[in-house]
Structure 1
Amino acid sequence: MDVELRHLRAFVALCEEANYTRAAARLNLSQPALTRTIQQLERLLECRLIERSSRSFALTDEGSDLLNRARRVVADVDAISADLRRRATVEIGFSWLLPDEWFAETRTRFEALGGRISLRRVDDPLAALDERAIDIAIYRTDNGLPRHLRSRSIATERRVLAVSAGSPLAEAVGLSWSDLAHEPLVVNTISGTTTAASWDPPDHERAVITCTNFDEWIELVAADRGIGVVPELARVRAPHPGVVYRDVPDAPPSRVRLAWRSEPPRAVRRFLEVA
């Protein structure tokens, strides 16, 4: 068996406290466990580190030499660990269209602390989070989360109507939310923001065409299979020659949320603090 970092930490704590009881409390150890650790260290080094005959706590010459070196080793390891933790990469998954202003500000603040962000485009961010493929999910659905995941709302977004360029609605004026309640609806069941239940009361006879990602959704809208409703950001970030985006002033806003696993690692906690 070799000398381990735990041996050196225990020895440094004991020397600094000059008392087994206080050192054990500082290390969250029992006093017998600390005593065994120090004795094990002495056996591994084949020398006595602490004077046994002194009435007060005292080190041997070898103990004094080890203390100086052990402090440097522990300090170096702690500094390296702290630096690497600060530079840890947080994997963020999103399905489509990052909230631009929020993300730019959050990334700047997080990287100023030494952290790094890696973005991953996934069809289902919540599933990827649950499978530990990412650290944080950005999502817009109203899906309930399992108990081992946590979430936080970070923004609200205006919603706009998306219709085929050939649809009569592409030229309609004065549209209201209720005007759209009975139109055939294209729904992205995995990452979309709008379903038939988004209208109150919902039309149970309404035609609903489903898909599982944004690319399928926009092509179905372009093909005039139904209308779609998405965050306003899509108007700038996801133009399509076959799709027209229209304002609906009284459309309810959608929410952008973050989700993460319970008891996240330190880098994720630091990201959440600045996010």
Structure 2
Amino acid sequence: MTWPGPAGASGIELRHLRAFAAVARRRSFTQAAEELLITQPALSRTVAQLEAALGVRLLDRSSRGVALTDTGAEFLIHVERTLAAFSAALAAARHESTLRLGFSWLLPDPWAQHAIARFERETGAQVELVRCDNPLDDLDRQAVDVALVRGSRPVKAAVRTVHLYDEQRVAVHARPEATGDGRDAFRGHPAEAVGDALRWRDAHEWTLVVNTASGTTGPWCWPHGDGPRRFVETANFDEWLESVAAGRGLGIVPDVAERRIHHPALRFLPLDGAPPSPIRLAYRPDTGTGSMLLRRFLDAALEAVVTCTHAAEA
């Protein structure tokens, strides 16, 4: 597939877009070449051809590495959407039906198992699970078709959401023996002062570890300034988990984590008065996946909520 470039320039092909996307994602010509199974000189020539055809510089190259220019960052968004749409078109032509579900950490149970099994049984399609640091970013790039989102932070105007149910919040902090000083890491008090529960209204005393990409609890949860005075920011779930385990602060997380995370350095506590944390499915109405397939997944997801609720009440 080729698009005509500017007058006097060669046309742009899919290989040019794939090469640029790989370098932009890896921030390295060496790693991108390994991913694409081509030599680094061949990759450099391909990207240079793309820049020449467009008449713009997409990447800044220096001894420190590779960085996107402002134009390159904007172009990357469209390139990833183009490549995703092309892959979806090929899958449709081959009668392959796959729905990509993006999530950042710990799919809620048993909802996920019920929803996926029902969807695959009723449609014959498959759910591809895609772990990503920020599912909404991947949804925007069309790297996933639907994203599981925890918390109440707003989404872009082009994104629609379906509320599934609410999770209860719990607190988690490093065990005193893990930090080595016998003191409560998030307030500086003796460990015995923590007690058997914490209160949401005491948040101003905490140092809170926040996952800024996909966390459920952060400064946005206290709109009137009643929240923690100190924050430790992390960029994904793994960084958040290890920061809490290292005693850098207190973590607040949905209660699924208490059932599913078994970390020897962590202790979970009830959190009195904490508002629940909603679970939503986010999607774009203009997704490359067939609208009927997406609708069937949303239906299966909501039916799974009912099934799980009845089972819990039984």
TM bucket by the smaller chain?
Answer: 0.5 to 0.7
1:106 maps to which of 115, 120, 135:
115
Query: Do the aligned residues in 2 keep the contact of 1:95 with 1:121 (CA within 8 Å)?
Result: yes
Instruction: Give the alignment's TM-score, normalised by structure 2.
Output: 0.57
Runs (5+) with no aligned partner, structure 2: 1-91, 177-183, 185-190, 302-314
1:231 aligns with 2:231: no
Secondary structure of the equivalent of 2:274?
A: coil
Partner SS state of residue 181, structure 1: helix
Check if 1:179 corresponds to 2:189. Answer: no
Counterpart CA distance in 2 for 1:257 and 1:169 is: 37
SS of equivalent residue, structure 2 residue 143: coil
Cα deviation, 1:47-104, whole Å, max 9, x if unaligned, reads xxxxxxxxxxxxxxxxxxxxxxxxxxxxxxxxxx8x94xx611000100010111111
Aligned to 1:75: none
Q: Does 1:154 align with 2:180?
A: no
- CA pair 92-204 structure 1, distance change in 2 beyond 3 A: closer
For the residue of structure 1 that corresponds to 2:280, the secondary structure is strand
User: 2:146 is aligned with what amino acid?
Assistant: I
- The answer for the alignment partner of 2:143 in structure 1 is 133
How far has the Cα of 1:270 moved from its partner?
A: 1.5
TM-aligned CA distance change 1:146 to 1:201, over 3 Å: closer
CA contact (8 A) 2:209 2:244 kept: yes
User: Helix, strand or coil: the match of 1:100?
Assistant: coil
C-alpha separation in 1, matches of 2:144 and 2:227: 37
CA distance 1:202–1:237, change in 2 (3 Å): same
Q: How does 1:111-260 map to 2 (within 5 A)?
A: 111-113=120-122, 114-166=124-176, 167=184, 168=191, 171-199=194-222, 201-203=224-226, 206-260=229-283
Deviation at 1:169, TM superposition (A): 6.7
Shift in CA distance, 169/159, structure 1 to aligned 2, threshold 3 Å: farther
User: Cα deviations across residues 206-247 of structure 1 (Å, max 9, x unaligned)?
Assistant: 111101111111111111111110000111212211111101
Q: Measure the CA separation in 2 of the matches of 1:133 and 1:194.
A: 25
Rg bigger for which structure?
A: 1
**Preserved contact between residue 170 and residue 244 of structure 1 (Cα < 8 Å):** no
Query: Compared with structure 1, are the counterparts of its residues 232 and 140 closer, same or farther at alpha carbon in structure 2 (3 Å cutoff)?
Result: same
| 8 Å CA contact 2:172, 2:251 repeated in 1 | yes
Q: How far 1:197 sits from its partner (Å)?
A: 3.6
Give me the whole-angstrom Cα distance separating, in 1, the residues matched to 2:199 and 2:228: 20
Aligned counterparts of 1:130 and 1:124: Cα–Cα separation in 2: 10
Structure-2 change in CA distance of 1:140 and 1:195 (3 Å): same
User: How far 1:268 moved relative to its partner?
Assistant: 1.2
Range that drifts further, 152-161 or 174-183: 174-183
Question: TM-score, with normalisation over the residues of structure 1?
Answer: 0.65
Query: Which whole-Å deviations, capped at 9, do the CAs of 1:135-182 have from their partners, x for residues lacking one?
Result: 010011323222221111112101000111112278513432112332
Change (3 A) 1:135 1:182: same
Q: Is the 8 A contact 1:182 1:206 kept in 2?
A: yes
Residue type of the partner of 1:126?
L
Measure, in 2, the Cα distance between the counterparts of 1:170 and 1:137.
40
Contact 1:170 1:246 in 2 (8 A): no
Aligned to 1:268: 294
Q: CA RMSD in A?
A: 2.3
How many residues are matched? 193
Alpha-carbon distance between aligned partners in 2 of 1:250 and 1:126, rounded to the nearest angstrom? 29
Q: Unaligned stretches of 5+ in structure 1?
A: 1-80
